[in-house]
Structure 1
Amino acid sequence: MLADACARGARTILIGGRSGSGKTTLARAVAERTGHRVVHLDDFYPGWGGLVEGSRMVARDVLAPVNPGFTRWDWGNDCPGGWVPLEPGEALIVEGVGTLTPENLRAARRRGPCVTVRVDLDAETRRARALARDPGFGDWWEYWARLEERHAADTANVLSTVDLVVTGR
Protein backbone atom coordinates (compact mmCIF):
# COMPACT_ATOMS: atom_id res chain seq x y z
CA MET A 1 0.00 0.00 0.00
CA LEU A 2 2.74 2.51 0.93
CA ALA A 3 4.82 1.75 -2.13
CA ASP A 4 1.69 2.13 -4.25
CA ALA A 5 0.96 5.52 -2.67
CA CYS A 6 4.51 6.61 -3.49
CA ALA A 7 4.10 5.42 -7.06
CA ARG A 8 0.98 7.63 -7.24
CA GLY A 9 3.04 10.64 -6.23
CA ALA A 10 3.12 10.79 -2.42
CA ARG A 11 5.89 13.28 -1.59
CA THR A 12 5.80 12.69 2.16
CA ILE A 13 5.09 9.68 4.33
CA LEU A 14 4.69 10.32 8.06
CA ILE A 15 5.21 7.18 10.17
CA GLY A 16 4.42 7.36 13.87
CA GLY A 17 3.99 4.98 16.77
CA ARG A 18 5.70 4.19 20.03
CA SER A 19 9.31 3.19 20.60
CA GLY A 20 10.19 -0.30 19.41
CA SER A 21 7.02 -0.73 17.34
CA GLY A 22 8.84 -1.12 14.01
CA LYS A 23 8.66 2.40 12.53
CA THR A 24 12.29 2.46 11.40
CA THR A 25 12.12 -1.03 9.90
CA LEU A 26 8.98 -0.10 7.96
CA ALA A 27 10.48 3.20 6.80
CA ARG A 28 13.63 1.50 5.52
CA ALA A 29 11.65 -1.17 3.66
CA VAL A 30 9.45 1.42 1.95
CA ALA A 31 12.46 3.58 1.11
CA GLU A 32 14.18 0.62 -0.57
CA ARG A 33 11.17 0.19 -2.86
CA THR A 34 10.47 3.87 -3.53
CA GLY A 35 13.72 5.78 -3.30
CA HIS A 36 12.26 8.18 -0.71
CA ARG A 37 14.81 9.54 1.77
CA VAL A 38 14.23 8.52 5.40
CA VAL A 39 14.45 11.11 8.16
CA HIS A 40 14.51 9.72 11.72
CA LEU A 41 13.35 11.88 14.62
CA ASP A 42 15.88 9.95 16.75
CA ASP A 43 18.54 11.92 14.87
CA PHE A 44 17.30 15.26 16.17
CA TYR A 45 15.19 14.98 19.33
CA PRO A 46 16.97 17.48 21.60
CA GLY A 47 17.76 14.96 24.33
CA TRP A 48 15.57 12.62 26.33
CA GLY A 49 13.10 15.37 27.20
CA GLY A 50 12.85 16.50 23.60
CA LEU A 51 9.85 14.63 22.20
CA VAL A 52 7.66 17.74 21.93
CA GLU A 53 10.41 19.93 20.48
CA GLY A 54 11.50 17.16 18.09
CA SER A 55 7.93 16.88 16.91
CA ARG A 56 7.78 20.64 16.28
CA MET A 57 11.02 20.47 14.31
CA VAL A 58 9.34 18.26 11.69
CA ALA A 59 7.00 20.99 10.43
CA ARG A 60 9.30 23.91 11.18
CA ASP A 61 12.58 22.49 9.85
CA VAL A 62 12.35 19.12 8.08
CA LEU A 63 9.31 19.96 5.96
CA ALA A 64 10.11 23.66 5.52
CA PRO A 65 9.62 24.86 1.94
CA VAL A 66 12.89 26.84 2.03
CA ASN A 67 16.17 25.48 3.46
CA PRO A 68 14.71 22.27 4.90
CA GLY A 69 16.81 20.15 7.22
CA PHE A 70 17.47 19.60 10.90
CA THR A 71 20.09 20.03 13.57
CA ARG A 72 21.40 16.59 14.45
CA TRP A 73 21.47 15.84 18.19
CA ASP A 74 24.82 14.68 19.54
CA TRP A 75 23.60 12.01 21.95
CA GLY A 76 27.12 11.22 23.20
CA ASN A 77 27.74 14.80 24.32
CA ASP A 78 24.09 15.68 25.01
CA CYS A 79 24.16 18.80 22.85
CA PRO A 80 23.21 20.01 19.37
CA GLY A 81 25.38 18.80 16.52
CA GLY A 82 25.62 19.99 12.93
CA TRP A 83 22.94 21.00 10.47
CA VAL A 84 21.76 18.29 8.06
CA PRO A 85 20.36 19.90 4.89
CA LEU A 86 17.54 18.35 2.89
CA GLU A 87 16.57 19.13 -0.69
CA PRO A 88 13.41 21.27 -0.99
CA GLY A 89 10.56 19.10 -2.25
CA GLU A 90 12.59 15.88 -1.86
CA ALA A 91 10.42 12.78 -1.42
CA LEU A 92 10.64 11.94 2.30
CA ILE A 93 9.64 9.34 4.83
CA VAL A 94 9.65 10.97 8.27
CA GLU A 95 9.47 8.47 11.10
CA GLY A 96 9.45 8.70 14.86
CA VAL A 97 7.41 9.24 17.98
CA GLY A 98 5.77 12.65 17.61
CA THR A 99 5.57 12.61 13.82
CA LEU A 100 1.78 12.45 13.65
CA THR A 101 0.59 15.91 14.68
CA PRO A 102 -1.75 18.35 12.95
CA GLU A 103 1.12 20.78 12.28
CA ASN A 104 3.26 18.09 10.69
CA LEU A 105 0.36 16.85 8.59
CA ARG A 106 -0.36 20.38 7.33
CA ALA A 107 3.32 20.90 6.48
CA ALA A 108 3.45 17.55 4.67
CA ARG A 109 0.33 18.37 2.66
CA ARG A 110 1.81 21.70 1.58
CA ARG A 111 4.58 19.68 -0.07
CA GLY A 112 2.06 17.61 -2.05
CA PRO A 113 0.31 14.28 -1.56
CA CYS A 114 1.14 12.55 1.72
CA VAL A 115 0.35 9.34 3.56
CA THR A 116 0.11 8.88 7.33
CA VAL A 117 0.92 5.58 9.03
CA ARG A 118 0.77 4.42 12.64
CA VAL A 119 2.72 1.31 13.67
CA ASP A 120 1.29 -0.57 16.67
CA LEU A 121 2.82 -3.32 18.76
CA ASP A 122 2.34 -4.59 22.31
CA ALA A 123 4.31 -2.88 25.09
CA GLU A 124 6.34 -5.92 26.17
CA THR A 125 7.65 -6.64 22.68
CA ARG A 126 8.33 -2.95 22.03
CA ARG A 127 10.39 -2.62 25.19
CA ALA A 128 12.41 -5.78 24.47
CA ARG A 129 13.17 -4.57 20.94
CA ALA A 130 14.10 -1.04 22.00
CA LEU A 131 16.44 -2.24 24.73
CA ALA A 132 18.07 -4.81 22.45
CA ARG A 133 18.72 -2.06 19.92
CA ASP A 134 19.97 0.46 22.51
CA PRO A 135 20.76 -0.91 25.99
CA GLY A 136 21.27 2.67 27.27
CA PHE A 137 17.59 3.29 26.61
CA GLY A 138 16.80 1.19 29.69
CA ASP A 139 17.65 4.06 32.02
CA TRP A 140 15.20 6.29 30.17
CA TRP A 141 12.45 3.85 29.16
CA GLU A 142 9.88 4.79 31.81
CA TYR A 143 10.48 8.53 31.37
CA TRP A 144 10.20 8.32 27.56
CA ALA A 145 7.13 6.07 27.83
CA ARG A 146 5.39 8.81 29.85
CA LEU A 147 6.22 11.35 27.13
CA GLU A 148 4.86 8.94 24.52
CA GLU A 149 1.70 8.48 26.58
CA ARG A 150 1.15 12.25 26.75
CA HIS A 151 1.61 12.48 23.00
CA ALA A 152 -0.83 9.63 22.38
CA ALA A 153 -3.40 11.13 24.78
CA ASP A 154 -3.32 14.56 23.11
CA THR A 155 -6.66 14.75 21.35
CA ALA A 156 -5.22 17.23 18.84
CA ASN A 157 -2.80 14.71 17.35
CA VAL A 158 -3.64 12.57 14.34
CA LEU A 159 -2.72 9.14 15.70
CA SER A 160 -6.33 7.96 15.44
CA THR A 161 -7.00 9.32 11.95
CA VAL A 162 -4.11 7.90 9.95
CA ASP A 163 -4.41 6.51 6.45
CA LEU A 164 -2.92 3.16 7.43
CA VAL A 165 -2.35 1.20 10.65
CA VAL A 166 0.39 -1.43 10.57
CA THR A 167 0.78 -4.02 13.30
CA GLY A 168 4.48 -4.51 13.97
CA ARG A 169 6.03 -7.94 14.23
Structure 2
Amino acid sequence: MSNAARVLKLAGSRPPTLGNGRLICIDGPAGSGKTTLAAEIASLAGGAAVVHMDDLFEGWGGLGRVDEQLGTLLRPIAVGSSGSYRRWDWPGNAWAETVLVSPAPLLVLEGVGSGASAFADLTTVLAWVEVPFELRMARGLERDGDSVADVWRQWAEDEQALFARERTRERADVVLDGRVGSRHG
Protein backbone atom coordinates (compact mmCIF):
# COMPACT_ATOMS: atom_id res chain seq x y z
CA MET A 1 0.00 0.00 0.00
CA SER A 2 1.38 3.42 -0.94
CA ASN A 3 2.01 6.08 1.70
CA ALA A 4 -0.87 8.13 0.28
CA ALA A 5 -3.30 5.19 0.38
CA ARG A 6 -2.20 4.38 3.93
CA VAL A 7 -2.83 7.92 5.19
CA LEU A 8 -6.15 8.22 3.34
CA LYS A 9 -7.34 4.86 4.71
CA LEU A 10 -6.45 5.93 8.26
CA ALA A 11 -8.31 9.23 7.84
CA GLY A 12 -11.37 7.42 6.48
CA SER A 13 -11.42 5.10 9.48
CA ARG A 14 -11.75 8.03 11.89
CA PRO A 15 -14.69 10.34 12.56
CA PRO A 16 -14.71 13.88 11.15
CA THR A 17 -12.72 16.37 13.20
CA LEU A 18 -12.96 19.53 11.08
CA GLY A 19 -16.68 20.20 11.31
CA ASN A 20 -18.24 17.60 9.00
CA GLY A 21 -14.92 17.01 7.25
CA ARG A 22 -11.56 15.48 7.96
CA LEU A 23 -8.18 17.20 8.17
CA ILE A 24 -4.96 15.48 7.14
CA CYS A 25 -1.86 17.39 8.22
CA ILE A 26 1.38 16.41 6.49
CA ASP A 27 4.31 17.76 8.45
CA GLY A 28 8.05 17.19 8.51
CA PRO A 29 11.24 18.94 7.49
CA ALA A 30 11.48 20.91 4.25
CA GLY A 31 12.40 18.76 1.27
CA SER A 32 11.11 15.52 2.77
CA GLY A 33 8.31 14.77 0.30
CA LYS A 34 5.25 16.44 1.85
CA THR A 35 4.02 18.25 -1.25
CA THR A 36 4.21 15.12 -3.38
CA LEU A 37 2.37 13.09 -0.73
CA ALA A 38 -0.35 15.75 -0.49
CA ALA A 39 -0.87 15.68 -4.26
CA GLU A 40 -1.07 11.88 -4.21
CA ILE A 41 -3.63 11.93 -1.39
CA ALA A 42 -5.73 14.58 -3.14
CA SER A 43 -5.67 12.54 -6.35
CA LEU A 44 -6.66 9.32 -4.59
CA ALA A 45 -9.44 11.16 -2.76
CA GLY A 46 -10.87 12.51 -6.00
CA GLY A 47 -9.62 16.06 -5.67
CA ALA A 48 -9.51 16.95 -1.99
CA ALA A 49 -8.68 20.55 -1.15
CA VAL A 50 -4.95 21.12 -0.50
CA VAL A 51 -3.48 24.11 1.33
CA HIS A 52 0.30 24.61 1.25
CA MET A 53 1.92 26.06 4.35
CA ASP A 54 4.42 27.90 2.13
CA ASP A 55 1.54 30.23 1.25
CA LEU A 56 0.96 31.06 4.92
CA PHE A 57 4.52 31.95 5.98
CA GLU A 58 5.68 35.56 6.01
CA GLY A 59 8.77 34.68 3.99
CA TRP A 60 11.78 32.82 5.31
CA GLY A 61 11.34 34.26 8.80
CA GLY A 62 7.64 33.54 9.18
CA LEU A 63 7.72 30.04 10.58
CA GLY A 64 7.26 31.10 14.20
CA ARG A 65 4.19 33.24 13.50
CA VAL A 66 2.02 30.91 11.45
CA ASP A 67 -0.45 29.87 14.18
CA GLU A 68 -2.53 33.02 13.64
CA GLN A 69 -2.98 32.14 9.96
CA LEU A 70 -3.90 28.57 10.87
CA GLY A 71 -6.51 29.89 13.29
CA THR A 72 -8.30 31.98 10.66
CA LEU A 73 -8.16 29.03 8.27
CA LEU A 74 -9.17 26.09 10.46
CA ARG A 75 -11.39 27.37 13.29
CA PRO A 76 -14.11 28.79 10.98
CA ILE A 77 -14.18 25.58 8.90
CA ALA A 78 -14.65 23.60 12.11
CA VAL A 79 -17.97 25.41 12.67
CA GLY A 80 -19.14 25.17 9.06
CA SER A 81 -17.97 28.54 7.71
CA SER A 82 -15.28 29.32 5.17
CA GLY A 83 -11.82 29.83 6.57
CA SER A 84 -9.22 32.16 5.15
CA TYR A 85 -5.55 33.01 5.10
CA ARG A 86 -3.44 35.74 3.60
CA ARG A 87 -1.17 34.36 0.87
CA TRP A 88 2.51 35.28 0.94
CA ASP A 89 3.90 36.38 -2.44
CA TRP A 90 7.45 35.01 -2.33
CA PRO A 91 8.77 36.80 -5.46
CA GLY A 92 7.19 40.08 -4.33
CA ASN A 93 8.23 39.56 -0.70
CA ALA A 94 4.86 40.84 0.52
CA TRP A 95 1.41 39.75 1.57
CA ALA A 96 -0.94 39.21 -1.36
CA GLU A 97 -4.64 38.35 -1.57
CA THR A 98 -6.81 36.69 1.05
CA VAL A 99 -7.68 33.12 0.09
CA LEU A 100 -11.03 31.64 1.14
CA VAL A 101 -11.27 27.90 1.83
CA SER A 102 -14.75 26.38 2.03
CA PRO A 103 -15.61 23.45 4.27
CA ALA A 104 -15.00 20.18 2.42
CA PRO A 105 -15.14 16.46 3.15
CA LEU A 106 -11.33 16.39 3.16
CA LEU A 107 -8.76 19.14 3.60
CA VAL A 108 -5.08 18.32 3.22
CA LEU A 109 -2.77 20.81 4.93
CA GLU A 110 0.84 20.22 3.95
CA GLY A 111 4.03 21.82 5.04
CA VAL A 112 6.29 22.60 7.95
CA GLY A 113 4.17 23.49 10.97
CA SER A 114 0.92 22.05 9.62
CA GLY A 115 0.73 19.71 12.61
CA ALA A 116 0.68 22.55 15.14
CA SER A 117 -0.43 21.27 18.54
CA ALA A 118 -2.78 24.26 18.95
CA PHE A 119 -5.00 22.63 16.31
CA ALA A 120 -4.60 18.98 17.32
CA ASP A 121 -8.30 18.86 18.21
CA LEU A 122 -9.15 19.49 14.54
CA THR A 123 -6.64 17.05 13.06
CA THR A 124 -7.91 13.69 11.86
CA VAL A 125 -4.48 12.36 10.87
CA LEU A 126 -1.06 13.85 11.46
CA ALA A 127 1.46 12.34 9.05
CA TRP A 128 5.18 12.95 9.54
CA VAL A 129 7.41 12.65 6.46
CA GLU A 130 11.19 12.43 6.73
CA VAL A 131 14.32 11.74 4.69
CA PRO A 132 18.02 12.23 5.51
CA PHE A 133 19.24 15.85 5.80
CA GLU A 134 21.56 15.61 2.79
CA LEU A 135 18.69 14.54 0.52
CA ARG A 136 16.44 17.30 1.86
CA MET A 137 19.12 19.92 1.18
CA ALA A 138 19.73 18.59 -2.32
CA ARG A 139 15.99 18.68 -3.07
CA GLY A 140 15.64 22.18 -1.64
CA LEU A 141 18.56 23.63 -3.56
CA GLU A 142 17.39 21.91 -6.76
CA ARG A 143 13.96 23.50 -6.28
CA ASP A 144 14.96 26.92 -4.95
CA GLY A 145 18.48 27.41 -6.33
CA ASP A 146 21.94 27.61 -4.78
CA SER A 147 21.48 31.31 -4.00
CA VAL A 148 19.21 30.40 -1.04
CA ALA A 149 21.57 27.85 0.55
CA ASP A 150 22.20 30.02 3.63
CA VAL A 151 18.52 30.77 4.26
CA TRP A 152 17.70 27.12 3.65
CA ARG A 153 20.17 26.12 6.38
CA GLN A 154 18.68 28.71 8.75
CA TRP A 155 15.20 27.43 7.92
CA ALA A 156 16.36 23.90 8.79
CA GLU A 157 17.50 25.15 12.20
CA ASP A 158 14.25 27.05 12.76
CA GLU A 159 12.09 24.09 11.83
CA GLN A 160 14.05 21.77 14.14
CA ALA A 161 13.38 24.16 17.03
CA LEU A 162 9.68 24.21 16.11
CA PHE A 163 9.50 20.41 15.88
CA ALA A 164 11.23 20.01 19.25
CA ARG A 165 8.90 22.50 20.93
CA GLU A 166 5.77 21.02 19.32
CA ARG A 167 6.93 17.38 19.57
CA THR A 168 5.47 16.97 16.09
CA ARG A 169 7.11 13.68 15.15
CA GLU A 170 6.21 12.14 18.51
CA ARG A 171 2.56 13.15 18.12
CA ALA A 172 2.28 11.87 14.54
CA ASP A 173 -0.20 9.11 13.80
CA VAL A 174 2.08 7.77 11.11
CA VAL A 175 5.79 8.30 10.30
CA LEU A 176 6.63 7.93 6.60
CA ASP A 177 9.82 7.64 4.59
CA GLY A 178 9.69 10.42 1.97
CA ARG A 179 11.89 8.39 -0.36
CA VAL A 180 9.03 5.90 -0.86
CA GLY A 181 6.81 7.06 -3.71
CA SER A 182 7.94 10.69 -3.43
CA ARG A 183 10.45 12.79 -5.29
CA HIS A 184 10.04 16.29 -3.85
CA GLY A 185 8.45 17.90 -0.81
Instruction: Give the TM-score taking structure 1 as reference length.
Output: 0.87
SS in 1 for 2:60: coil
Which of the residues 159, 162, 183 maps onto 1:151? 162
Work out whether residues 41 and 96 of structure 1, in 8 Å CA contact, stay in contact via their aligned partners in 2. yes
Query: Partner of 2:182 in structure 1?
Result: none
Deviations 1:6-28 (A, max 9, x none): 44465100110000000001111
Aligned length: 162
Select 1:92's aligned residue among 107, 121, 127: 107
**Deviations 1:95-116, CA, capped at 9 Å, x for gaps:** 111112211212x24xxxx111
Does 2:52 correspond to 1:40?
yes
* 1:17-166 correspondence to structure 2 within 5 Å: 17-34=28-45, 35-58=47-70, 60-65=71-76, 66-106=81-121, 108-109=122-123, 114-135=124-145, 136-154=147-165, 156-166=166-176
Q: How many angstroms does 1:151 deviate by? A: 0.7
Contact kept in structure 2, 1:100 and 1:157, CA below 8 Å: no
Paired with 2:29 and 2:94, the residues of 1 have a C-alpha distance of 24
CA distance in 2, matches of 1:144, 1:138: 10
- Percent identity between matched residues is 35
State the alpha-carbon separation in 2 of the partners of residues 134 and 94 from structure 1: 21
Query: Is residue 67–residue 87 contact of structure 1 (8 Å, CA) maintained in 2?
Result: yes
SS in 1 for 2:40: helix
CA distance in 2, matches of 1:89, 1:36: 8
Amino acid at match of 1:168: G
* 2:9 pairs with 1:4: yes
Give the Cα–Cα distance (whole angstroms) in 1 for the partners of residues 67 and 144 of structure 2.
21
* SS in structure 2 at match of 1:104: helix
* Aligned residue type for 1:75: W
Aligned AA (2:32): S
Using the size of structure 2 for normalisation, the TM-score is 0.80
